């Protein structure tokens, strides 16, 4: 499967979830990470993800992201890879929906993990809970 096809299929999947009334922000947090909303918005408007964001999404779903180089005329390998990727996408939607329905998972995924905002948020939370 070409990277363009994977991007297109993920975009379609995310649009289905948003059309099913899941918040775009939550879909972003679960798949790409809460701190990546501008990148997610660009993706939803048509910009494709590169290798690193695709790797993050796929690994967040419990899969490994591997690059496979195959001979141009090997249809058997191409079919196998396409089947595996389609299976991933089918399971991926189920897994994302389960996470989106889990309030705690959504909350955790929406919190920035690094940087000054994460530090300040953590300190503020600690102060509030004292």
Closest CA to 60 of 36, 43, 42: 36
Q: Which residues contact 71 (CB under 8 A, 6 or more apart)?
A: 77
Q: Where are the domains of the chain?
A: 3-129
- Which tens digits make up the pLDDT trace of 7-61? 999 999 999 999 999 999 999 988 888 788 889 999 999 999 999 999 988 888 8
- pTM of the shown model: 0.76
- Angle CA 33–39–40, to nearest 5: 65
């Amino acid at each position: 499967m070409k990277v363009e096809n994977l991007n297109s299929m993920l975009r379609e999947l995310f649009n289905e979830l948003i059309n099913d009334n899941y918040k775009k922000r939550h879909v972003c947090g679960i798949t790409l990470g809460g701190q990546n909303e501008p990148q997610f918005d660009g993706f939803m408007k048509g910009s494709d993800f590169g290798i690193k964001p695709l790797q993050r999404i796929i690994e967040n779903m419990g899969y490994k992201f591997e690059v496979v180089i195959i001979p141009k005329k090997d249809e058997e390998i191409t079919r196998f890879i396409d089947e595996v990727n389609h299976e991933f996408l089918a399971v991926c939607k189920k897994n994302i929906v389960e996470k989106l329905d889990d309030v705690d998972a959504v909350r955790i995924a929406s919190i920035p993990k690094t940087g000054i905002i994460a530090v300040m948020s953590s300190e503020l939370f600690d102060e509030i809970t004292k």
